[in-house]
Chain A
């Protein structure tokens, strides 16, 4: 942040023509918008950061870095566009370009060799038959949060990101493509494979932890 551009200073400088952005909005006005709105996304950014970094302390650093970068790049934000998606894009770039290099985190295994079979079929083969057991919630309720987190964290960064953006944060394919700067087809392909992998992990732990053996079918 440049010195002397605090909120009050900025308001006094509002009429200076060289402070008007390409979007025709004064940076200070954009900054006030960010101040007012950006904090509403902090939970959403933080929970994604926790899952991306796998570490609450690193997640805090990443979120702070995201807001610092956002403030430095205000002239690139177009008012009226999706601030939440813009913040996620900044955070994703910070994670990929800075955080991962700095921490030299090993990438998790790629999904290239993930077996291509449907977990649902595997479940049935394993004796878990949601249909015969009533609501599927009953089966899935056996999963603990630890099971889910472990499965998520086993995904490579690239695959974990699409799951977090789509399944946790509810971004549309188009938005995810913009955030990650990848083609929409790649988003769909990564999502498809990540979800299969997740299911495999989750239902695998379910089958191992709670075998639906003899009594379940009596």
Chain B
């Protein structure tokens, strides 16, 4: 099993699903057995989730949608 420092090096690639299936599973095995790393990963994921939630809560104003619709229909 990989150690904590090897696992932390792959933290973001794991969260971003950029690892191979095998690597993803290896990190997961470590997290299953290592509560401190698990907490750390969870914390990181939650911070990113917070950023995503905040930024996605924005929609294009109807007036802009109409302008773009007209541009597309020109």
Most buried by B among A45, A136, A152, A166: A136
Q: Hey, what's the 0/1 contact readout for A7-51 against B, CB within 8 Å counting as 1?
A: 100000000000000000000000100110011001101110011
3 interchain residue pairs of minimum CB distance = A46-B60, A47-B58, A148-B54
Interface size classification for chain A:
35 or more
**Which among A35, A47, A51 is the interface contact of B72 at CB below 8 angstroms?**
A35
Pairwise interchain contact B64-A71, C-beta atoms closer than 8 A: no
Query: Known contacts being A47-B56, A191-B12, is A64 close to B68, with CB within 8 Å?
Result: yes
- Does A94 sit at the interface, judged by CB under 8 A? no
**Which among A38, A47, A198 is the interface contact of B59 at CB below 8 angstroms?**
A47
B contact patch SS: helix
Pairwise interchain contact A120-B43, C-beta atoms closer than 8 A: yes
Pairwise interchain contact A168-B56, C-beta atoms closer than 8 A: yes
Q: Which of A75-83, A102-110, A137-145, A208-216 forms contacts with chain B? A: A137-145
Write the chain A residue with the least CB distance to B67. A64
State the CA gap A13–B67 with chains docked (Å): 26
- Does A111 sit at the interface, judged by CB under 8 A? no
**Which among B39, B47, B58, B67 is the interface contact of A43 at CB below 8 angstroms?**
B58
Question: Which residues 11-70 of B have a CB within 8 angstroms of A?
Answer: 12-13, 16, 18, 35, 39-40, 42-44, 46-48, 50-52, 54-61, 64-65, 67-69
